[in-house]
Chains A and B, each alone.
Chain A
Amino acid sequence: MPQKLDYRKETPSQTAGPYVHIGLAPGAAGFDIYGNELGRDIAGPHAPGERIRVEGLVYDGTGAPVKDVLIEVWQADANGIYPHPEDPRYGKVARGFRGWGRVITEFDTGLWGFETIKPGSVMGRNGRLQAPHLNLWIVARGINLGLNTRLYFADEEQANAADPVLNLIEQQHRRATLVASREMRDGKPVYRFDIRLQGENETVFLDV
């Protein structure tokens, strides 16, 4: 007999359920308990970069909005630096930039939205730059294991065309499911990103 490998197994995931807000955003559940609800401000007031708004809907396979979804965002600052010690440029991250946010819906419509700054290009593997993107993690009732995906920006056409992750998507028309469209509203840029869990134009989800 060979020696025994003694790795442990990752704890299995379970759905976040319909009442995820109690734990992660109690204000949305309807009560006030914590001095500081986490994830409300991704970029902070001082970080340089283009201030943007991102909004959208998550649809289920029948085409109905998923009204109880919760999304977490993780992103780099405008210079492409993540506020995490593992980023080699960590010391130069924008002041007050958190890079992480929690996004909840309006329960009646399922519409969600958040303000942040547009990230810069970030380092990829083997020295290949990745196009600016937001990393998203989606949980809800009916989702057994959080879904990872990325949001890219429609006005970064050239960078998107060279992005190593987008280029991995074999069916070229599906790449568009990861690209948010841009419009100006009252002089401010707003990106629209709809996520389709299933069916026609199903969003590309990632095994990271």
Chain B
Amino acid sequence: MKPAEYYQRDRLWQPPQLTPNYKTSVPRSPRQALLSIEQSMSEVTGPVFGHGDIDPIDNDLIKNYAKTGDPIGERIIVHGRVLDENGRPVPNTLVEIWQANAGGRYRHKKDTYLAPIDPNFGGCGRTMTDANGFYFFRTVKPGAYPWRNWVNNWRPAHIHVSVFGSSFSQRLITQMYFEGDPLIAKCPIVTSIPDPKAIEQLIAPLDMNAAIPLDSLAYKFDIILRGRRSTMFENRLEGN
């Protein structure tokens, strides 16, 4: 069977564009309805990456910017699988992450938080999933940090995650949170997602099986991309 369209994105599961408690969404959210289109070749294709695009050290944030030693912070492994809504692995897809350092400071010219930059931490990594959709990174656990929204808002510790999938319509950016963090429930960016079950999907559990004794703790984060219908009957996606 030949695959056809990707499943409709669940707009009640995904955050709406306008979420007034996250203030920046107010001037940056469209007010008109999205135009729904049937997928064509433009939507079911997307960029293809290979191991030649990245370096093996790119997934090791403890070493990929180390200058005089390792970065400060709690050493962790972040690993999991990229799957689709059908439960099938998404192989050979590019996963990119970025994060603050252990003190909650980003290496970015626009970040002015008073926690110091770590000279040995860049804060970004990337990797390709393997043939079964598995990926892993090594890093330090990011710190919480304050941000300008309400007077006293703090972001829970999080890692930003960008995934491509097999087509441009599966493209996704999200954030991974850590099990047990009391700041998660208080964050207006997190609660831009209306369904509490959907929020749980962004919280990585501590994974002692993957922890390396005397070395690193581990968290497991599976990522689900849009699934795809199989063509049991001709739907002329590609024309006559």
Contact = CB atoms under 8 A, between A and B. Distances in A.
A11 interface: yes
B42 A143 contact: no
Contacts of A36: 53-55
Contacts of A61: 26-29, 31
Size category of the B interface is: 35 or more
A126 B168 contact: no
Contacts of B124: 22-23, 26, 33
Given A123-B238, A124-B239, A87 B45 contact: yes
B164 to A, nearest CB: 9
A10 B86 contact: no
Given A197-B28, A207-B36, A208-B169, A145 B53 contact: no
Interface residues of A, number: 84
A94 to B, nearest CB: 15
Contacts of B192: 14-15, 144
Interface stretch (B68-76, B210-218, B220-228): B220-228
Interface stretch (A48-56, A127-135, A153-161, A182-190): A127-135
B40 A123 contact: yes
Contacts of B98: 19-20, 22-24
B121 to A, nearest CB: 10
Interface string A182-203: 0000000000000001110011
Given A13-B174, A68-B110, A84-B48, A23 B96 contact: yes
B231 interface: no
A21 B199 CA distance: 25
Nearest to B202: A12
Contacts of B199: 12
A62 interface: yes
B58 A34 contact: yes
- Pick the 5 closest A-B CB pairs, nearest first: A23-B98, A142-B24, A100-B47, A142-B28, A84-B45
Determine which residue in A13, A20, A165, A207 has the highest number of CB atoms from chain B within 10 A of its CB, and name it.
A13
Interface string A83-94: 111111000000
Given A82-B41, A130-B42, A169-B35, A31 B240 contact: no
Interface in A32-69: 33-36, 38, 60-62, 64, 66, 68
B37 A144 contact: no
Given A7-B86, A14-B174, A24 B110 contact: no
B201 interface: yes
Determine which residue in A130, A144, A174, A205 has the highest number of CB atoms from chain B within 10 A of its CB, and name it.
A144
The secondary-structure label for the interface of chain B is loop
Contacts, number: 275
A165 B36 CA distance: 9
B110 A107 contact: yes
B53 A38 contact: yes
B206 interface: no
B44 to A, nearest CB: 6
Given A17-B160, A208-B169, A12 B189 contact: no
A168 interface: yes
Given A18-B110, A31-B107, A205-B34, A127 B236 contact: yes
A144 B19 contact: yes
B168 A60 contact: no
B122 A26 contact: yes
Contacts of B110: 18-19, 68, 107
B108 A22 contact: yes
B226 A10 contact: yes
Given A9-B85, A84-B45, A23 B239 contact: no
Given A127-B239, A142-B25, 6 more contacts: A9-B198, A12-B198, A14-B15, A36-B55, A66-B28, A197-B30
Nearest to A100: B47
B154 to A, nearest CB: 14
B143 interface: no
Contacts of B36: 206-207
